[in-house]
Structure 1
């Protein structure tokens, strides 16, 4: 059970990317088991598609969690992590929704994101889960986020804002707990919780390939293979993460 594992914490003032730092640490044998890296500042963080995710000092949660497992062991890991983070933030009444495959939204604006990367080391398979959350206001182009970005500071007064370490610890415990639950109960629990927060569901959407619209339809949710279903005039079509982009059709 991952929730019973001792988490090896590494705190850094500044780093290029928490995911890259932790990946190097595993590959060089400097860490093993479950490990977490928390940085105050990130200069070359990465999002989906290689997009840059920078964080000025104290402006965001820059967290990566290393797990001794292959990503193929849990193909729904990004969804599981999204649900886990959402549950943490909901305790402060932050209205979190999840945008497939890996974004966290609040009031339809980007609040954070998840990036899962797997690789082999001399000790076996490892998956690093990167979690970024905006704590203070940031400037994210609408083209990347849909409707700009938001931050926890828009929902929590300074007196109620948790410290980065406290927030990170709650997020890590929630992620480990959800992975354990999914391992025991299967994917149905994740499906139900993701669907309840699905920001696409029943909205008109368009599917794009490098900016070119391929087809349009109604968002119908995820299937058992982790693809997103769109009901088009020609019937249901599945969209796979990394292949195409799904956007709300205005």
Structure 2
């Protein structure tokens, strides 16, 4: 993917290729598309996709940074309003993972899912999801869904992270407007389905793509082991099912990390 191809990404072209009926904006550079949409949430009256050709201060889950390359990554956020409170959003990060996986599958890419919010390719991280919320004026919740998708990852970025990162060089050669439109359509369709049925409509689909099904894992919080057991998928609310020596337990999504037992990276 050349710099000129990246520069050719335009909001009108993405919207013209999409069936989602969602407004699209593309900016040359910003710190964080999530932060930008959260700052505008009070004035929004419809869903909005914000794409950055270059993102300089991307954020990951639990306050981590998200490193990206303007030539090798797609970084974007989608603002979507839900009726009701944040309680009805249980399992949403996992549903977004399913939407990404199913869209990539249509493009010829098979991926796995890691609880609670990562997309993996051959065991390495391909995409991350960050969801932030803000109460909407007049009721409901504005949900900002931030996604970083690796296409071509420079060696220096992997060196900074100290681990390998998945990439999709053949999709990097795809027209960037067409790729972004396909992702938007998949996400919008999933969000409308989530509005109707919640995560229960996605749980079986997530479990079919569970990258670590049956493997022994540990659940960590601030570096401390909370639980250890065999990963057994998720339930209809998005909680991780873990088969421990004491029996099956459920683990809520939150400020925790999942590691294959003995692995140094997750």
Q: TM-score range, shorter-chain basis?
A: 0.7 to 0.9
Post-superposition shift, 1:8?
1.5
1:13-92 alignment, distance < 5 Å: 13-27=28-42, 29=43, 31-69=44-82, 70-92=85-107
148, 168, 192: which one aligns with 1:132: 148
What root-mean-square deviation, in Å, do the aligned CA atoms of Structure 1 and Structure 2 show?
2.3
Unaligned runs of 5+ in 1: none
Aligned length: 240
TM-score, structure 2 normalization: 0.82
User: Moved runs in structure 1, 4+ residues, more than 4 A?
Assistant: 140-144
Q: Partners of 2:160 and 2:119 in 1: how far apart?
A: 15
1:139-180 deviation per Cα after TM superposition (whole angstroms, max 9, x unaligned): 347988xx6211111xx176xx32333222211111111222
1:112-127 alignment, distance < 5 Å: 112-122=127-137, 124=139, 125-127=141-143
Aligned-partner SS, 1:66: strand
Aligned-partner SS, 2:219: strand
Q: Partners of 1:170 and 1:176 in 2: how far apart?
A: 10
80, 93, 110: which one aligns with 2:125: 110
Aligned to 2:224: 212
Which structure would you say has the larger RCO, counting Cα contacts within 8 Å and 6 or more residues apart?
Answer: 2
Q: Which has the higher strand share?
A: 1
157, 162, 171: which one aligns with 2:183: 171
185, 192, 202: which one aligns with 1:190: 202
TM-score, structure 1 normalization: 0.87
Post-superposition shift, 1:186?
5.0
